[in-house]
């Protein structure tokens, strides 16, 4: 391989990595996971004949969303402690 091809390959890999990072932190990804969680929780609550299943199915979704919004600040804090 020549140097130009290696550089192009590295740039392509960097673009894929950046796109993966954007996906991991995207609101769309969080929304899709929350929606799937909500549907499965509601279905399970229906199977076990729970009352107010649509409202109760929101509990795990709320927990998931709270964790995704609170973890980035905790990650930053942790990284600062590790670097010191």
Per-residue pLDDT tens over the stretch 24-69: 888 899 999 999 999 999 999 999 999 998 899 999 999 999 888 8
Domain ranges of the chain: 3-83
Q: In whole angstroms, give the CA distance from residue 53 to residue 24.
A: 30
Residue holding tokens 């996971």? 33
Three-point CA angle 41, 54, 38, nearest 5°: 35
Which residues does 59 contact at the CB level (< 8 Å), separation at least 6? 41
Q: In whole angstroms, give the CA distance from residue 57 to residue 44.
A: 9
Predicted TM-score (pTM) of the model is: 0.72
Buried b (16+ CB within 10 A) or exposed e, 19-35: eeeeeeeeeeeeeeebe
């Amino acid at each position: 391989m020549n140097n130009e091809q290696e550089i192009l390959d590295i740039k392509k890999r960097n673009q894929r990595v950046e796109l993966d990072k954007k996906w991991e932190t995207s609101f769309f990804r969080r929304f899709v996971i929350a929606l799937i969680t909500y549907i499965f929780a509601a279905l399970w609550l229906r199977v076990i004949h729970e009352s107010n299943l649509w409202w109760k199915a929101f509990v795990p979704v709320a927990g998931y969303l709270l964790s995704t919004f609170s973890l980035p600040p905790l990650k930053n804090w942790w990284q600062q402690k590790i670097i010191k």
